[in-house]
Amino acid sequence: MNAKPASILLVDDDLQLVQSMSHWLRDFGHQVQTAGNLEEARTELAARHFDLLLLDLRLGSDDGFHLISEVRKAYPDVCVLVLTGYATPQTAVEAIEAGAFDLLTKPVLDAELQLAIERGLSQRQIAQENQRLRQSLDVRSGLENVLTHDYRMLKIFDVIDSVADARASVLITGENGTGKSMIARAIHQRSSRRQKPFVEVACGALPDNLLESELFGHVKGAFTGAATDKVGKFHLADRGTLFLDEIGTASPAMQVKLLRVLQEFEFEQVGGTKTQSVDTRVILATNEDLSAAVNDGRFRQDLYYRINVVNIVLPALRERVGDIPLLCDSFLHAAAETSGRDVDGFDHEAMQLLQAYPWPGNVRQLQNVVERAVLLSRDKVLTVQDLPPEVVGTVADPLSAALPQGIPSSIASPGTGSISQTQGATGGLPNQAAGPESGNRLNPSSFANKTLREALEGPEREIILHTLRRFKWNRAATADALDINRTTLYKKMKRLGLDDPRLQFALDEAH
């Protein structure tokens, strides 16, 4: 027998068979306990752990089917093999449905029993590995998936552990891109509701009438187009977690409905009269200052106090600069694996710029910048040439308006200089020939040991990229604006790595 030694409980009222089979099993290194009826079997199961149960269906006046069901519920890790001298096709079906792995007919051949035990133990091992994998995935979806060394984030982790199992609402606030959805998922995964659904709704993406139907569901005929009944998100998240993102965009009418369901956990479907009750944990998020919205009359005070039981404030990425190398490393390896690129990381000068930049789009923007750098790079080590203009400081960041006052929109690392753009006659292209009075400064050390062609590749790539974005990747319009023919443009795009269709997606996401 090739199976690893296992702990086996043999349940049969045939004493001669029990003695013979138990000796045979022990010869293969298995640990065997025996029982002659269901009561003895239950005692053995309660006393010690077993890997395998060999069970006769007829035990005097006892029915072995009862024990199969009990073992399936109380000891799901135990593999059950049924032995019977009165097998019919229907008996086999009923045994499998009750939870048995296999059914063998007496008299059982040694080779047949050996194979069944091996298969049963192998199936049990696979089930245990699957369970460990599910637990691992749960962990990855929890706090362990939030990369940080920042003390403020570590304090937030402590709060999450404290409130994970509370039914009270949690309000997560922070700028766009700080990871509010990830924190909501982490709370769900740390709670006893982790096996139930996590349902997410972006409140700002739906008009008020559709949002009500999305949250509470509707009955057939409730409005034009309601051809069938629809179950709402509150019901789908019953005994699980409902995450309401962008809650600050909810209209006054919707705020009233939300207040009721958060107080009583009861609601009616749109067009319906039947009151439904749910046990749903609600987590909400916003990038707005809700206290200011309350003062301005845009948000109900009673709803604000209802949802603000626990408030988790996520710091912006510029406030946790020490996490940027850690996040870059994670995003870089993920992007390199997805795109099939061989990339090691950013050099010191590029990392300085990444840490100096204010990141108005926070972690989401950083991820897009890293993915862009991986797609554009021709070398294993990423440099300043692989960063977008707004990070290097060569153009104004289109997201700079989102920054708080006092944060500059363009930051250059000391000693690297910056290149300010002016508008030339070519319709918005950088005027590289502008004089010193325009603020143009180049760092000669960045061109050391490079040929003229190599030194010009960076600016040429950025000029073409800027124009492609300006004309929404229309290559004909781009070629006309650059005063070159389309064939030349295509060749330059291929040489500079700008012909990858994934690059357009990554850049569009970043801007």
Please state the domain extents for the chain. 7-137, 144-315, 318-402+450-510
Identify the residue whose tokens are 């801007």. Answer: 511
Q: Please tell me whether the overall predicted TM-score, pTM, comes out greater than 0.85 for this model.
A: no
Choice among 42-46, 82-86, 155-159 with the minimum mean pLDDT:
82-86
Residues 274-286, mean pLDDT to the nearest whole number: 94
Residues facing 275 on adjacent strands:
268
Q: 107: cis peptide before it, omega within 30°?
A: yes
pLDDT at position 395? 54
CB 305 within 8 A of CB 165: no
296 HSE (CA, 13 A, CB side): 10
pLDDT at position 507? 54
pLDDT grade for 171, boundaries at 50, 70 and 90? very high
Choice among 174-178, 248-252, 396-400 with the minimum mean pLDDT:
396-400
CA distance 160 to 190: 8
pLDDT at position 418? 34
Question: What are the C-alpha distances in Å from 161 to residues 155, 156, 189, 316, 461?
Answer: 10, 9, 10, 22, 48
CB 52 within 8 A of CB 21: no
pLDDT at position 400? 47
Residue 509 has pLDDT above 70, yes or no: no
CA distance 98 to 119: 19
pLDDT grade for 206, boundaries at 50, 70 and 90? confident
pLDDT at position 492? 86
Query: Which CATH number is associated with domain 7-137?
Result: 3.40.50.2300
Fold of 144-315: Rossmann fold (3.40.50)
pLDDT at position 209? 80
118 CB burial (10 A radius; 0-12, 13-18, 19+): middle
Read off the pLDDT of residues 66-117 as tens digits, 9 standing for 90 and up: 888 888 888 888 888 888 877 677 777 888 888 888 888 887 788 888 888 8
Phi, psi of 337 (to 5 degrees): -70, -40
pLDDT grade for 269, boundaries at 50, 70 and 90? very high
pLDDT at position 115? 87
Question: What are the C-alpha distances in Å from 307 to residues 250, 281, 303, 436, 465?
Answer: 13, 11, 6, 56, 45
pLDDT at position 412? 32
Read off the pLDDT of residues 5-31 as tens digits, 9 standing for 90 and up: 889 999 988 888 888 888 888 888 889
Residue 340 has pLDDT above 70, yes or no: yes
CATH class of the domain at 318-402+450-510: mainly alpha
Radius of gyration of the chain (CA): 33
Q: CB within 8 A of 174, min separation 6: which ones? A: 180, 285, 287, 313, 314, 315, 316
Residues 203-222, mean pLDDT to the nearest whole number: 88
Are the folds of 7-137 and 318-402+450-510 the same? no
3-state secondary structure of 82: strand
State what percent of residues in the chain have pLDDT above 70: 82
Token couple for 5: 């030694």
Q: How confident is the prediction for the chain on average, in pLDDT?
A: 81
